[in-house]
Amino acid sequence: MNSDSQFKGREGRSDTRPILIIPYMWIGDFVRNHTVVRVLKERWPNRPVDLLTTSLCAPLVDYMPGVRHGIVWDLPRSQLAVGRQFGLAKLLRERNYGTALVLPRTWKAAIAPALAGIPERVGFVGEFRFGLLNRWRWGEKRLPRFIDKNAALAQPAGAPLPAEWPVPQLRVPAEEVARWRQANGLGAGAAVALAPGSVGASKRWTYYPEAARLLVERGLEVWVAGGPGEKGLAQEIVAAGGPGVRDLTGTDLRNGVLAMAAADVAISNDSGLMHIAAALGTPTMGIFGPTSPYLWAPLNGLAATVVQDKSALACQPCQSTICRINDHRCMRDIAAAEVVAIAQRVLSQAGARATT
């Protein structure tokens, strides 16, 4: 039987069965997943919510209100990994989950919850998962945004989408930020965090070195955040900006979270760090070229969305990883001086709010 009717009567405060969310594991998508957590906690305030996570995303769980535990389990991409699936299923069975929300629409994502015998396994039909899910949902393609598809699974079947979803939240204790600044020998002046990386080169704005130089000239500290893949970009930015720029890239995502939490403003491509900064409440500037801010900007909102305001191109947004039309003009035409001017305005506005 596949119907919500068999589970009626369990809604509300009397239900205490744990819930497992199996999210998308890209960093930005993982942050967005906190909206799903918040919807579940509004619906079932007394049901603990756990997240399946990779080692990469695991630090984010520590800063997500309403999440009880992160279940760290790395499954290889593009492989079934049967032994790992059975191992995960054993772990899930021991935790006695009452419900699993399977957000990815892949067959592989639904295997372990089914093997674990979790009674309610909710997800969209994708990839013919009828034997793996028992509370399947239809109509995913009619939902306009990624967050609509995910958060709808946390609602009762058929419920209308709200006008606004609860926004993702990441909360870092002030004392942890202070310890981090001290450990890295960072000053107390106003700081701008730059996030020059992204998944896909087409989303990368190339003028970060010049922007860093201009920011330093204006008396601002500049920090470069990112993973090991951004080390080369960070070195270019440091070379352009001089001793006022710090390379804070590394292998631990927690370092990036703390950099974004400590910064006065963040400037980022459409990337995971953009979503982290916005969820932390740091004034965040997002630089968009081939991707759509409507579809991919943080729900939290951005202090500024830099998307070539003066001469938007007919081909935007193309969502393409390679520009085949005009040599990546959507990103090349965003000048460093323009971005720096917006950053200064954002800093002034943030300072004015802090003193009121």
Q: What is the model's pLDDT at position 271?
A: 95
Q: What is the model's pLDDT at position 356?
A: 52
Q: What is the model's pLDDT at position 2?
A: 45
8 A C-beta contact, residue 46 and residue 76: no
At residue 31, does pLDDT exceed 50? yes
CATH 3.40.50.2000 fits 177-354, yes or no: yes
CA 3/CA 146 separation, integer angstroms: 24
For 262-286, what is the mean pLDDT?
96
Q: What is the model's pLDDT at position 3?
A: 40
pLDDT: which is higher, 105 or 354:
105
Most confident residue range from 72-86, 126-140, 148-162: 148-162
Question: Residue 295: pLDDT band by 50, 70, 90 thresholds?
Answer: confident
Q: Considering only CA atoms, which of 83, 287, 293 is closest in space to residue 194?
A: 287
pTM of the model: 0.92
Tell me if 4-152 shares its fold with 177-354. yes
At residue 310, does pLDDT exceed 70? no
For 18-35, what is the mean pLDDT?
97
Phi and psi (nearest 5°) for 134? -120, 0
For 236-252, what is the mean pLDDT?
96
Describe the crossing of helices 208-217 and 231-241 by its angle, rounded to 10 degrees. 40
Q: What is the model's pLDDT at position 355?
A: 54
For 170-198, what is the mean pLDDT?
95
Out of 232-236, 292-296, 312-316, which region has the weakest mean confidence (pLDDT)? 312-316
How many alpha carbons lie under 13 Å from residue 353 in its C-beta half-sphere?
9
CATH T-level topology, domain 4-152: Rossmann fold (3.40.50)
CA 39/CA 179 separation, integer angstroms: 33
Q: What is the model's pLDDT at position 232?
A: 94
Residue-wise pLDDT tens digits, 113-126: 999 999 999 999 87
For 155-176, what is the mean pLDDT?
96
Question: Residue 351: pLDDT band by 50, 70, 90 thresholds?
Answer: confident
For 219-235, what is the mean pLDDT?
96
Question: Residue 294: pLDDT band by 50, 70, 90 thresholds?
Answer: confident
Q: What is the model's pLDDT at position 4?
A: 46
Out of 148-162, 238-252, 317-331, which region has the weakest mean confidence (pLDDT)? 317-331
Out of 35-44, 49-58, 189-198, 286-295, which region has the weakest mean confidence (pLDDT)? 286-295
Rounded percentage of the chain residues whose pLDDT exceeds 70: 93
Domain ranges of the chain: 4-152, 177-354
For 10-26, what is the mean pLDDT?
87
Q: Considering only CA atoms, which of 294, 304, 324, 301 is closest in space to residue 202?
A: 324
State whether residue 237 is helix, strand or coil.
Answer: helix
